[in-house]
Chains A and B, each alone.
Chain A
Amino acid sequence: MKVSGADTVRRLTVEDLSVHYGGVRAVTSIGFTVEPGQSVGIIGANGAGKTSTLKALMGLVPRSSGRIRLGDHDLTRVKARDMVRHGIGYVPEGRHVFPGLTAEKNLLLGAYSRAWDEDTHRQLAEVYALFPVLEEMRERLAGALSGGQQQMLAIGRALMTRPRLLVLDEPSMGLSPKLVGSILDVLLKLREEGLSLLLVEQNAKLTFGVTNHCIVMENGEVAMNGTSAQLSHDPRVREVYLGL
């Protein structure tokens, strides 16, 4: 899959991002950067604030503080629906495909912000090349697909937005180890093609395999931070997970 965008200076910078739900503090002053072509992982146990971080980044939940920049653009005030126009594709937690629409419609809706033309169909073909099973299922309703197929569909839909940065929220959730393996392969392939990735995962193994750099979150804060290679050998990661 070709990743458009010659501009290599599009670094994503997130500073001092905080989220509150009512009186509850979900995320406290998180900051990180994603260099162009790099992939960054955010890992941590359930309820550590990973999903809230992503949703706040995407503008899907209100931020109580934070600045977000992509290259020269300040995205802090950009509405959630306009994030795609800045080249950020989003794969939500729990897939969130449009269940009553066919698989192909789901993919086409990824290209909602552009006219549906030749180019769109070329792109569709690229997604099908990446996920051949989706082509077989193109006329099926998304709600009738298996969990793994839905996950591929959600990734495919995000790719149809033509992202420079792909943001994924727990793509391994509820999938069998074999399927997790194939998701891993796809993410590696996308990375090789130069796409930047921001991956939120509970599955640390998967994340270390795909990313250059990782953040470990605990109780809404950054507990650890380092290269994926380092962290994969750090016993403290396990403690954070199992609450030891």
Chain B
Amino acid sequence: MKSRLAATGVLVLAAWALPYGLGGYTVHVVNIALIYALLAIGMGLAMGVSGQINLAQVAFFGVGAYAVAILTTHYGHGFWFSALLAVLATVVVGLFVGVPALRMQSHYLGIVTLGLALGFINWITNADITGGADGISGIPVPALPGVDLSSEYLYYYLEALVFGLALLFGLFVVHTSLGRRLRAMRDDALAAGAMGAEIPFLRMTAFLLASLYGGLAGVLYAGLIRYVAPETFSIANMFILLAMVIIGGRRSLVGCVVGAIGLTMVREWLSDFSTYAQLGYGVVVVLMVVFAPTGLAGVPARLRTLYERRRRAQQSSRAELRPFIPYEVEDRSARDGVLLSVEGVTQQFRGLRALDEVTLTVRKGEIRGVVGPNGSGKTTLFNVISGFYRATAGTVGFAGSDTTTARPYTLSLAGLARTFQNLRLFGQLTVRENVLVALDRTRTHTIWQYALWQPGVLTRERRLRAQADDILRRYGLADFAEADPSSLPYGIQRRIEIARAMAARPRLLLLDEPAAGLNGGEVQQLIRIVRSIRDSGTTVILIEHNMGLVMSLCEKVTVLSSGRVIAEGTPQEVVSAPEVIEAYLGDSDLAELDLDTPPSAARPDRAKEATP
């Protein structure tokens, strides 16, 4: 921490001293570089942090610059007032461009945003108000009492100040609640939704941030050059900007800045060979994408992993999975009534009827097992309950209200949490951040705090971190708080998923094959964890293949086969039902071969066998 502060101090000093050693033209280049750096931060926030392919950043830049130009020259407003309106206008345009993100992602979004950028370029090249291909000249010098901003040296300080604040704000966003949620959405939008992240709002927020930075850059550009023309905002420049972000490292704002400043400098030095330089960026982008997708910013982390791997080979890591600390037992009298009711739910996928009039009622405080052969519709049922699929027919009621058409995040906020069959941890977030995403129940609309009351964000952040550490300790994961989940053994990842789901303090927890891939000892621990979760007042439904686990854990079991409920009852009732045996083994004849051994008698031996 101290070294980081010192480094920041040195950087600030260097930034302050920089113009003293530079010639007039170099300062101009530095000023341009800072503007590109601002643009790159916006791009990084949308693309690297939030995963929204935004190829309209250069248009946001243009809206900001042209708005200042038009407001000052046509309407005679002052520079600063125009600047304020210009940033607002850019944000409005940004939100508009972001609307398609609600309906489409990835390359679709890339093409739509690129198309809109092209439309913008088309407009500025042809409209009268933008001066057509000639652009607009005669933008006034920003007036600041006592400071002549027509001097590029002094303008540098203005830019450096804006840039410094903007970078700080960007980093603040990335490392606190909002940014964490944006990153979670980038890594896995489905899982983030299931953790209560309001995906549509977050997508718009990503575009809001991108356009905010684009607008700021545009305003500074207009004040610096005092002339705007279409070629500055071309698609070619859009791709150069993209190259900056990719080469620097799209997931790190500092990387984006380094990429932007570095590439602007290189571009300037090679301005006599600009075509060859362009060839160079293209080749570097391709190489980066294939060999170093995290960009320059990712290089230190890669070296560190390499170094640590070598060190770990010598001395074994001290981190270990500790035992689970059970929850306090809740008063049993609070458990009464129905928590979940699924009625006549049918789910049709083109030719396939995955669920066929499934009816299921789960009471508060139950541990319910859902079993059935492969392809019997178990996970589909979970997806319907948790709002991922909308049932073709039938209704789902949760906690007293009809949730048939509710979105996953609404259900999460109403107290439903789930895990996934094929682990869906947020791969680029640490274990603690994974838990924090679910723990953080503040809504996206509280982002006004980011603009007006930053200390509020920080206080909340401190409180959440303490809670997250409590949860990690309870689940024995404290040693892995800073680890990257994908580097951990499978059994630990499974446990992180449960910890993450429980961080949301749900009333109903859906576990999709929690024992898959676990060894015998881990299964025993899982049984303890699930029991304790129930005792803490959370109702549990679990899908499982491991019948031993279901037998020892569930009070009631529902058996699905070909999308229908074929049996429901205690585990003992269910395993002796001929329909169930037929569904599992193919024929009930086999069951008649030997029915003397009571199921419960065999169980303890197997459990012992499984524990190493």
Contact = CB atoms under 8 A, between A and B. Distances in A.
A and B in direct contact, judged by CB atoms within 8 A: yes
Interface of A: 22-24, 45-47, 94, 143-144, 146, 170, 172-174, 177, 180, 201-207, 232-233, 235, 237-239, 241-244
Given A235-B593, A243-B551, A244-B597, A202 B546 contact: no
Interface string B336-356: 000000000000001100000
A205 B585 contact: yes
A205 B517 contact: no
Interface of B, secondary structure class, is helix
Contact of B585 (A23, A143, A170, A238): A238
Interface residues of B, number: 35
A242 to B, nearest CB: 5
Interface in B504-532: 513, 516-517
B602 interface: yes
Contact of B375 (A174, A241, A244): A174
B91 to A, nearest CB: 43
B550 interface: yes
Contact of B589 (A47, A146, A205, A241): A205
B373 interface: yes
A170 B374 CA distance: 10
Contacts of A174: 374-375, 562
A143 B517 contact: no
Contacts of A244: 547-548, 551, 575, 597, 599, 602-603, 606
B517 A24 contact: yes
Chain B CB count within 10 A is highest, among A23, A94, A170, A180, for: A23
Interface in B489-515: 489-490, 513
B548 A243 contact: yes
A47 B545 contact: yes
Interface in B574-612: 575, 581-582, 584-587, 589-591, 593-594, 597, 599, 602-603, 606
A81 B582 CA distance: 36
Given A202-B374, A206-B586, A244-B551, 9 more contacts: A24-B517, A47-B513, A94-B375, A173-B375, A238-B593, A242-B547, A242-B584, A244-B548, A244-B597
B549 interface: yes
A143 B597 contact: no
B489 A47 contact: no
B351 A144 contact: yes
Nearest to A204: B585
Give the top 10 A-B pairs by smallest Cβ distance, nearest first. Answer: A243-B547, A203-B586, A235-B594, A205-B586, A243-B548, A205-B587, A46-B545, A24-B517, A47-B545, A23-B490
5 contacts: A173-B374, A202-B585, A235-B594, A243-B549, A244-B606
Contacts of B550: 243
Contacts of A206: 586
A22 B493 CA distance: 12
Contacts of B549: 243
Contacts of B375: 94, 173-174
Contacts of A46: 373-374, 545
A61 to B, nearest CB: 15
B590 A204 contact: yes
B548 to A, nearest CB: 4
